[in-house]
């Protein structure tokens, strides 16, 4: 087994791993980067995302950033335990330090470091702006890198490659097992590549291998049997097979985040494009294969509610629904930007003609649409850009906004399934990105960032994931480099 020694090993080279590796290399550390994918597919999920950042400027997070993260910080939190969040962190009891919830220390660090991290990415050649997105209605402010997540991956990977004497980029090689001494201190990692196993020695390891959305067994184990009806949102997700999470837990890490859930998006199952979302249903209705409505299609703006809608779709027969709109969709400015599928909509001049083309109980669907049409209010107050209060209230489920009769040809439909953008369950970290054990202590030399660190519950706080990866990746890389310079992890 070939052995090599470094100051730091980074497992994974998406936004989190590359931010960690480059930051550490800039501080003089010798770094090994392990990447399961071949070079032309490096970057995991980051490579395929548009990478929206929940920010109001290049230096400030959005006004609702802290509130939204805090609202989804955990389940029913025990006030007798979480009351100690008001104390200095050094005085927190062990059960709070190891608690799976997202604590105020991480939210604060995340928000404070978002601006400096964005500026650091700019210094690496990444340009940010307020770019168009696929949301017709919005509830917050977002920025993104020009060129999306791929621009971050390519800029940071190129920067890493400039450190020829300090950075070893090892492709088609996946981390499999941590090496620890008898005290639990990290000593390196065992990885498997095309030629077999290699042993890499280092006093610090940063786990940034993503979540487990590419691992069918883990998806079924944690998210339940309905996981068979979901799939990764993009090609990069298939490389995320959960080794980082598994290795960390086996090393004694405390779990964090919601292991039973994931960031869900509504996509066209016919499309092989990255993130082929369909977000037109707010202006029409959603029917399951039995021809029935099953959710409020427009409880608020679609950017704030599509995840809950996706989960409702997953609960339907074969995890599928049909989005149906009529010719009035043309009243919505630039509505086609809300459909990212490369497959054409199913279209007909009559509702009967449309239903005949769908895998649906057409008789029940006609009843459902008739009942919906009869319950629709006067459409004179329709406003496609703002929540307009045009509500259907006498049906169950109701529809809160944009309720108009489906009566004008042409009639269009898209199939929709729930895709997995990334999983929520991961490893507990502190504000230095150190992995925490069950007794609230850092595991010496072990860090986690990105999807491998568990931070989300139930509902993803949109446009924060790549930001999270870059922020805590940088923090991990800097901390590990300082430890190397001081001669101890």
Q: In this predicted model, what pLDDT tens digit does every residue of 368-408 receive, in sequence order?
A: 999 999 999 999 999 999 999 999 999 999 999 999 999 99
* Residue spans of beta strands (DSSP E) within 143-245: 144-145, 167-171, 174-180, 186-193, 196-201, 205-207, 231-232
- 489 pLDDT above the threshold of 70: no
Helices (H) and strands (E) in the chain, counts: 12, 20
CA–CA gap between residue 377 and residue 450 (Å, rounded): 46
The CATH H-level (homologous superfamily) assignment of domain 2-261+424-486 is FAD/NAD(P)-binding domain (3.50.50.60)
Percentage of the residues of the chain whose pLDDT score is greater than 90: 95
pLDDT digits (tens, 9 = 90+) for 244-276: 999 999 999 999 999 999 999 999 999 999 999
Global pTM value: 0.95
The pLDDT tens digits for 123-177 are: 999 999 998 888 888 889 999 999 999 999 999 999 999 998 999 999 999 999 9
Q: What is the pLDDT of residue 484?
A: 86
pLDDT at position 133, please? Answer: 81
Choose among 170, 168, 182, 174: nearest CA to 246.
174
Looking at domain 265-419, does it have CATH number 3.90.700.10? yes
Band of residue 486 on the pLDDT scale cut at 50, 70, 90: confident
Q: In the chain, where are the structural domains located?
A: 2-261+424-486, 265-419
The token pair that represents 97 in the structure block: 């330090």
* 82, burial (CB in 10 Å: exposed 0-12, middle 13-18, buried 19+): middle
Per-residue confidence (pLDDT) for residue 342, from 0 to 100: 97
DSSP type of residue 52: -
pLDDT at residue 3, as a whole number:
53
Please give the sequence-ordered ranges of beta strands (E in DSSP) within 12-120, or none if there are none: 31-35
Q: With 90 as the cut, is the pLDDT of residue 485 above it?
A: no
Q: How are strands ordered across the β-sheet holding 2-5?
A: 2-5, 196-201, 186-193, 174-180
Alpha-carbon gap, residue 390 to 408, rounded angstroms: 18
Q: How much is the mean pLDDT over the chain?
A: 96
For the sheet with 434-436, list strands across it.
167-171, 31-35, 8-11, 205-207, 442-448, 434-436
Q: Give the phi and the psi of residue 213 in degrees, each rounded to 5.
A: -65, -20
């Amino acid at each position: 087994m070939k052995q090599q020694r470094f100051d730091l090993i980074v497992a994974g080279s998406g936004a989190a791993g590359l931010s960690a590796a480059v930051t550490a290399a800039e501080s003089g550390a010798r770094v090994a980067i392990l990447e399961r994918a071949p070079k032309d597919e490096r970057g995991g999920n980051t490579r395929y995302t548009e990478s929206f950042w929940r920010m109001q400027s290049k230096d400030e997070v959005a006004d609702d950033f802290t509130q939204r993260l805090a609202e989804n910080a955990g389940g029913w939190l025990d006030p007798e335990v979480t009351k100690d969040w008001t104390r200095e962190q050094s005085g927190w009891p062990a059960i709070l330090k190891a608690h799976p919830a997202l604590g105020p220390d991480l939210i604060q660090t995340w928000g404070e470091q978002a601006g400096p991290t964005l500026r650091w990415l700019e210094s690496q050649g990444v340009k940010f702006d307020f770019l168009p997105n696929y949301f017709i209605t919005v509830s917050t402010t977002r920025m993104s890198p020009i060129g999306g997540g791929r621009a971050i991956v390519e800029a940071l990977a190129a920067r890493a490659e400039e450190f020829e004497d300090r950075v070893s980029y090892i492709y088609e090689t996946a981390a499999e097992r941590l090496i620890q001494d008898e005290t639990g201190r990290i000593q390196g990692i065992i990885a498997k590549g095309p030629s077999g196993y290699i042993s890499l020695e280092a006093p610090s390891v940063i786990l940034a291998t993503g979540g487990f959305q590419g691992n069918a067994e883990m998806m079924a184990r944690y998210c339940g049997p309905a996981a068979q009806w979901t799939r990764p949102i993009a090609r990069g997700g298939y490389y995320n097979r959960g080794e980082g999470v598994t290795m960390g837990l086996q090393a004694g890490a405390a779990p964090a985040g919601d292991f039973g859930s994931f960031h869900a998006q509504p996509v066209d199952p016919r499309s092989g494009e990255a993130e082929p979302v369909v977000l037109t249903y707010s202006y029409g209705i959603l029917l399951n294969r039995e021809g029935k409505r099953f959710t409020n299609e427009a409880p608020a703006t679609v950017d704030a509610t599509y995840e809950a809608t996706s989960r409702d779709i997953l609960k339907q027969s074969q995890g599928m629904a049909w989005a149906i709109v009529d010719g009035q969709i043309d009243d919505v400015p630039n509505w086609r930007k809300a459909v990212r599928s490369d497959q054409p909509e199913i279209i007909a001049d009559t509702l009967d003609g449309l239903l005949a083309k769908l895998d649906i109980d057409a008789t029940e669907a006609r009843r459902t649409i008739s009942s919906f049409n009869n319950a629709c209010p006067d459409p004179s107050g329709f406003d496609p850009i703002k929540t307009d209060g045009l509500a259907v209230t006498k049906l169950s489920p109701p529809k809160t906004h944009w309720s108009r009769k489906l009566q004008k040809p042409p009639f269009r439909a898209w199939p929709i399934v729930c895709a997995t953008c990334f999983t929520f369950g991961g490893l507990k970290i502190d504000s230095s990105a150190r992995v925490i054990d069950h007794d609230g202590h850092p595991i010496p030399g072990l860090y986690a960032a990105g999807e491998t660190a568990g931070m989300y519950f139930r509902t993803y706080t949109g446009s924060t994931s790549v930001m999270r990866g870059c922020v805590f990746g940088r923090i991990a890389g800097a901390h590990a480099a300082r430890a190397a310079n001081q001669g101890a992890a």
